[in-house]
Amino acid sequence: MTGAFPVISTFNVDKVQLGNFDFDQMIESLRDLFARDRQVASQPESTRCGLCYLHFPITELHYRDDGFYICPSCTRSLGDHRLSMLRKQQRFP
């Protein structure tokens, strides 16, 4: 025991600022996401969710009275909140 303060230099500043956030992993998962999105978008019966802007088959989307399509995961996040959209999405027949 020297009575000295703990050695500060072992302290990893980058880690502290970023927490456990793994940037490379985030980029990787975004790539996957966009790849899937493009794939769904290339299908005729698909359109964007009005909130997250990802593509979904029409059958998975719900057209809200507010005037936009919403995907299942946004439905969960939004709950019963009403949104007023500046631009209404075209509703497919």
What residues line the site for Zn ion (CB under 5 A)? Answer: 49, 51-52, 71, 74
Q: Of 15 and 39, which has the nearer Cβ to Zn ion? A: 39
3-class DSSP state of 60: helix
Q: Are 84 and 77 in contact (CB under 8 A)?
A: no
Q: Of 26 and 33, which has the nearer Cβ to Zn ion? A: 33
What are φ and ψ of residue 34, in 5° steps? -70, -35
Rounded to whole angstroms, how far apart are CA atoms 57 and 44? 9
Q: Of 47 and 74, which has the nearer Cβ to Zn ion? A: 74
